[in-house]
Amino acid sequence: MTLSDLTEAVEHLLVARNLRRMAELRPALNPGYALRAARMLDSAQTVLIGTGFPVDETFETDGPLGAIALYQALELLGKTCHLACADPLASALSKDFRVLKLQAFNVAQGRAEAQTNLDLLKPDVVLSIERPGLAEDNRYYNMRGEDISPRCAVFDYYLTLASCPSIAIGDGGNEIGMGKLSAEVSALDIHAAATSCDELLVADVSNWGGYALIAVLEAITETPLLPHVTHHETLGYLSQLGSVDGVTRENTMTEDGLPAAAGADLLDQLSHLVAQLDPQKEYPAP
């Protein structure tokens, strides 16, 4: 299997269940987006990872799980990472991770906060995983069409104002980055996000897009990364911090209504794909 074959297989695997019609959006993307995004991360030194989708007064498991896995994988590669999120997730994670607390809850303040923190951190890549994206009316909406703007700190401008490349991962159409497919997302029954990005990964579960990037990073760096992904342990860690499933809104070790075994199975499939890579057939680009 060549690197191109691996990337195509990974991108297909991410939407194989087509839970929220992401498989219908995938053809509109330029193939190879997982590889291009992984190469952005590989060449970066400082990475800012935004996550955290508010559900009631807490946060959902989808997003932080993949963000933590990416953070840990990139740190294994010698990168410096920051998790950008708002409370209560920010305070919950701050004792274990480098956290940038998002504090602006309106567009004007969000733009100013983003510019200040971008100037301070000078990231080489900004990545958003399952972070609400501003719709055309500058409001935030969940999958049920509910306006959740009062509980959503603004992260969109960290991508749009950044002088560095941006990556986004989403699974429904209302997340940051989905503006890259505005025409296609408008056909979905959802308040679509208007914020775009440089490289967009669509997935059945956004966490799994994070896992996919780790798999491709493992392939191009020839560094074991997937074995270090602690799927069940991190789900348990988030559950103890008060996370809920975004679909059921219950404090369970599940992702978007799926059991923990589903994510673990996807990790196994990614590992199997990476193991089939033949580096003699195609060398990664520098």
**For residue 4, what are its two tokens?**
């191109």
pLDDT on residue 281: 65
pLDDT digits 0-9 by tens, 110-122: 999 999 999 999 9
Query: Which own/partner pairs from 214-217 qualify as long-range (CB within 8 Å, at least 24 positions apart)?
Result: 214/69, 214/70, 214/73, 214/270, 215/10, 215/270, 215/271, 215/273, 215/274, 216/6, 216/7, 216/10, 216/34, 216/35, 216/37, 216/38, 217/38, 217/41, 217/42, 217/73, 217/74, 217/77
Per-residue pLDDT averaged across 142-152, rounded? 93
Q: With bands split at pLDDT 50, 70 and 90, how would you rate the model's confidence at 236?
A: very high
Q: With bands split at pLDDT 50, 70 and 90, how would you rate the model's confidence at 285?
A: low
pLDDT digits 0-9 by tens, 176-214: 999 999 999 988 889 999 999 999 999 999 999 999 999
pLDDT on residue 186: 86
Q: With bands split at pLDDT 50, 70 and 90, how would you rate the model's confidence at 235?
A: very high
Per-residue pLDDT averaged across 247-274, rounded? 97
pLDDT on residue 57: 92
pLDDT on residue 280: 65
pLDDT on residue 93: 98
* Domain range list for the chain: 3-275
Average pLDDT over the chain, rounded to an integer: 95
Contact 114, 157 (CB under 8 A): yes
pLDDT digits 0-9 by tens, 12-65: 999 999 999 999 999 999 999 999 999 999 999 999 999 999 999 999 999 999
Q: Helices 260-275 & 206-221, crossing angle to 10 degrees?
A: 20
Contact 134, 195 (CB under 8 A): yes
Q: Could you give the percent of the chain with pLDDT greater than 90?
A: 94
Q: What is the pTM of this model?
A: 0.96
- Specify the CATH number for 3-275; select among 3.30.70.100, 3.20.20.70, 1.20.1440.120, 3.90.1640.20: 3.90.1640.20
